[in-house]
């Protein structure tokens, strides 16, 4: 009833530079829930980088060490739904709050989904305060750092920053090799070293894909009664790389562009007319038009609530500047490279 997945444990969570801070903070929290300054512990990062896994691992370890403590893992979507159900029935809002306020270690996954849900945010605020005041541990995950979260009340955001925010990044080559080997070992399959290296070299952005490739490889070679050949691995990796290219989102483009210019997302989306920020914003619009299927209107609304004419103007400006300004062309080339992983 903790909703924990025992396979998502620390032993199966390979350590690397990309996750060292989050992993060790998670360990510290698991060994002393509520007793460290990492409260809340906020784990954030892109899709498929291990947030859910790490969040479970903390819970699993707490349960192991302190069997009497109540641990609860809940996705934010489920939390929102439960809250909705509770308020529909008379006075069950209090029961809902009490239920959550009894928990020793509360893990809430993908907290960014609270965005715009003011009523549920209020309820979460009350729960959070009660738990925190009583030395209970809160663990949160999010796809963004608290500073970049939108439509979440300031008082909640400031609490998210009370403890420690640890980013999970894309794993480096070594870590990808370790993840692959651990995964294959658990599945009891042997794959030639060169195939493992090939996969690790080409699938760089997220662990879920790395695992997807392994699953396909195992299925395909069993189906064709073939060896785990490099040729087969190449076909599978090719398919994955093509699929991910299609999946670039406006959100992702904005992140890449902000990071490239070393400005934060809020600044990129702000109304400021500072030249370098305007250019960054226009580049985000240009690449969104080029690489996603989103309409001009939708791109505009996602990049700081602009209209479609602004996006169209941005695309033209970028085309012009690329043709006339060498430095600007370099920006376009650099960002293109970063977006075509
Ligand atoms: P997120 O919640 O960030 O989208 P998940 O936690 O669902 O990502 O991770 C996606 C998959 O990758 C899961 O199957 C998880 O076990 C695996 N994974 C992620 N990071 C690691 C790691 N460091 N070691 C081993 N497996 C990992
Ligand atoms: Mg997740």
What strand order describes the sheet that includes 41-44? 71-75, 105-109, 137-142, 41-44, 164-167
Q: Looking at the chain, how many residues does it have?
A: 341
The whole-angstrom separation of Cα 172 and Cα 200 is: 9
As given in the structure block, the two tokens for residue 269 are: 């989306």
- Give the pLDDT mean for 273-299: 94
The alpha carbon of 276 and the centre of ligand 2 are apart by a number of angstroms equal to: 34
Q: Which helix (H) or strand (E) holds 129?
A: helix 118-133
Burial bucket for residue 213 (CB in 10 Å: 0-12, 13-18, 19+): buried
**Topology match between the domains 20-167 and 173-246:** no
If one residue of 44, 53, 108 were mutated to test the ligand 1 pocket, choosing by the most ligand atoms within 8 A of its CB, it would be 53
Name which residue sits closest to atom 18 of ligand 1, judged by CA.
50
Q: Which ligand is nearest to the CA of 212?
A: 1
Q: What is the pLDDT of residues 57-69, one digit of tens each?
A: 999 999 999 999 9
Q: Among 80-84, 97-101, 222-226, 311-315, where is mean pLDDT lowest?
A: 222-226
Q: What is the pLDDT of residues 210-261, one digit of tens each?
A: 999 999 988 888 777 777 888 889 988 988 877 665 568 999 999 999 999 9
Look at residue 247 in the predicted model and tell me its pLDDT: 64
Number of the ligand 1 atom closest to the C-alpha atom of 18: 23
Pick the CATH number of 173-246 from 1.10.510.10, 1.10.8.60, 2.60.40.790, 3.10.20.90: 1.10.8.60
Q: Distance from first CA to last CA of the chain, Å, rounded?
A: 40
Name which residue sits closest to atom 26 of ligand 1, judged by CA.
13
Assembly ipTM: 0.99
Query: Any idea which fold 20-167 has?
Result: Rossmann fold (3.40.50)
CATH number attached to the domain at 250-339 = 1.10.1750.10
Domain layout of the chain by residue ranges:
20-167, 173-246, 250-339
Residue 193 has pLDDT above 60, yes or no: yes
Number of the ligand 1 atom closest to the C-alpha atom of 175: 23
Residue percentage of the chain with pLDDT more than 90: 82
The alpha carbon of 145 and the centre of ligand 2 are apart by a number of angstroms equal to: 15
- SS3 per-residue string spanning the chain: CCCCCCCCCCCCCCCCCCCHHHHHHHHHHHHCCCCCCCCCEEEECCCCCCHHHHHHHHHHHHHHHCCCCCEEEEEHHHHHHHHHHHHHCCCHHHHHHHHHHCCCEEEEECHHHHCCCHHHHHHHHHHHHHHHHCCCEEEEEECCCHHHCCCCCHHHHHHHCCCEEEECCCCCHHHHHHHHHHHHHHHCCCCCHHHHHHHHHHCCCCHHHHHHHHHHHHHHHHHCCCCCCHHHHHHHHHHHHHHHHHCCCHHHHHHHHHHHHCCCHHHHHCCCCCHHHHHHHHHHHHHHHHHCCCCHHHHHHHCCCCCHHHHHHHHHHHHHHHHHCHHHHHHHHHHHHHHCC
Neighbours of 77 (CB within 10 A): 11
Which residues contact ligand 1 via a Cβ below 6 A? 12-14, 19, 47-53, 179, 207-208, 211
Name which residue sits closest to atom 1 of ligand 1, judged by CA.
48
Q: What is the pLDDT of residues 110-126, one digit of tens each?
A: 999 999 999 999 999 99
């Amino acid at each position: 009833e903790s909703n924990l997945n025992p396979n998502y444990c620390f032993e199966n969570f390979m350590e690397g530079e990309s996750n060292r801070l989050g992993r060790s903070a998670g360990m510290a929290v698991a060994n002393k829930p509520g007793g460290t300054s990492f409260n809340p512990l906020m784990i954030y990062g892109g899709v498929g980088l291990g947030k859910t896994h790490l969040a479970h691992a903390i819970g699993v370890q707490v349960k192991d060490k302190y069997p009497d403590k109540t641990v609860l893992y809940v996705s934010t979507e489920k939390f929102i739904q439960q809250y909705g159900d509770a308020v529909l029935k008379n006075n069950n809002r209090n029961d809902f709050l009490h239920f959550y306020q009894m928990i020793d270690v509360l893990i809430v996954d993908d907290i960014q989904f609270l965005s715009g849900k003011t009523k549920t945010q209020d309820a979460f605020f009350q729960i959070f305060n009660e738990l925190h005041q009583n030395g209970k541990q809160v663990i949160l995950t999010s796809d963004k750092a608290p500073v970049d979260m939108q439509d979440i009340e300031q008082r909640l955001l400031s609490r998210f920053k009370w403890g420690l925010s640890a980013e999970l990044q894309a794993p480096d080559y070594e870590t990808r090799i370790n993840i692959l080997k651990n995964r294959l070992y658990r599945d009891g399959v042997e794959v030639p070293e060169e195939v493992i290296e090939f996969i690790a070299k080409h699938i760089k952005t997220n662990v879920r894909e790395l695992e997807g490739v392994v699953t396909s490889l195992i299925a395909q070679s069993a189906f064709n009664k073939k060896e785990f050949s490099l040729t087969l691995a190449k076909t599978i990796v090719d398919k994955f790389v093509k699929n991910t290219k299609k999946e670039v989102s406006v959100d992702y483009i904005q992140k890449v562009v902000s990071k490239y210019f070393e400005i934060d997302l809020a600044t990129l989306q702000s109304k400021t007319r500072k030249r370098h920020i305007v250019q960054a914003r226009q580049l985000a619009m240009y690449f969104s038009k080029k690489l996603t299927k989103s309409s001009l209107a939708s791109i505009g609304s996602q990049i700081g609530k602009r209209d479609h004419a602004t996006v169209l103007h941005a695309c033209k400006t970028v085309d012009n500047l690329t043709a006339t300004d060498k430095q600007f062309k370099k920006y376009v080339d650099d960002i293109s490279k970063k977006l075509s992983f």
